[in-house]
A and B are shown apart, each in its own frame.
Chain A
Amino acid sequence: DIQMTQSPSSVSASVGDRVTITCRASQIISRSYLAWYQQKPGRAPKLLIYGTSSLHSGVSSRFSGSGSETDFTLTISSLQPEDFATYYCQQANSFPWTFGQGTNLEVK
């Protein structure tokens, strides 16, 4: 199985801050098969980005993604109050599809 490791596991930030979350895969994956999700407590995850850098329909442009091979990043350019949540990366390169352990973005 491909292991996905996110860092940091938790980050504190303020509204207006720029935040970057990193996801590292245990083996090389195609850029086409890396996605990011946002999850709020008690809710299902929501797709933010697929194919490393493609923004899902309806997602704010303050979210962006980049990376290649084993190292990928999610950046939130200017935090808004609704962005405080847990973020997960996911690889769809090979089954079983695996997720990072999550990054909890909390208010400073």
Chain B
Amino acid sequence: EVQLVESGGGVVQPGGSLRLSCAASGFTFNIYSMNWVRQAPGKGLECVAAISDIGGSTAYGGSVKGRFTISRDNSKNTLFLQMNSLGAEDTAVYYCAKKRSTIGGHDDFDHWGQGVLVTVSS
């Protein structure tokens, strides 16, 4: 059974940093691209970062580019999101999401973690 378990969320002051982790199990982690998708309270879904299967390629949404870094440790089946210079607009539930297919560079997501809440507040 595929499982994605996020951790590392919490309350952080504006301008602060936080590192999210997503522990993956139940599938061959190192052959799938992975993404971080966030959802602000009461709002829709926003893909903030994507990383290829072996981590050689990354991409970022415009709202987080230059502040967030996605990475992975395939030896530990873990995905990360380093978030710096956080602002109130980054308050959201952050989900890690597994790409459905191993083929091609177009990501839809067949498995999602339970989500972790990040609150940016003084």
Residues of A participating in the B interface, judged by any CB pair closer than 8 Å: 1, 32-33, 35, 37, 44-47, 50, 56, 88, 90, 92-93, 95-102
Contact = CB atoms under 8 A, between A and B. Distances in A.
Nearest to B114: A44
A100 B59 contact: no
A93 B104 CA distance: 11
Interface stretch (B15-23, B43-51, B73-81): B43-51
B26 interface: no
12 contacts: A1-B62, A44-B112, A45-B109, A45-B112, A47-B100, A47-B109, A56-B110, A97-B35, A99-B46, A99-B47, A102-B44, A102-B45
B59 A95 contact: yes
A98 B61 CA distance: 10
B107 interface: yes
A98 B47 contact: yes
Interface residues of B, number: 21
Interface of B: 35, 44-47, 50, 59-62, 95, 100, 106-110, 112-115
Contacts of B62: 1, 96
A92 B107 contact: yes
Contacts of A45: 45, 95, 109, 112
A88 B106 contact: no
Contacts of A100: 44
Contacts of A101: 44
Nearest to A98: B47
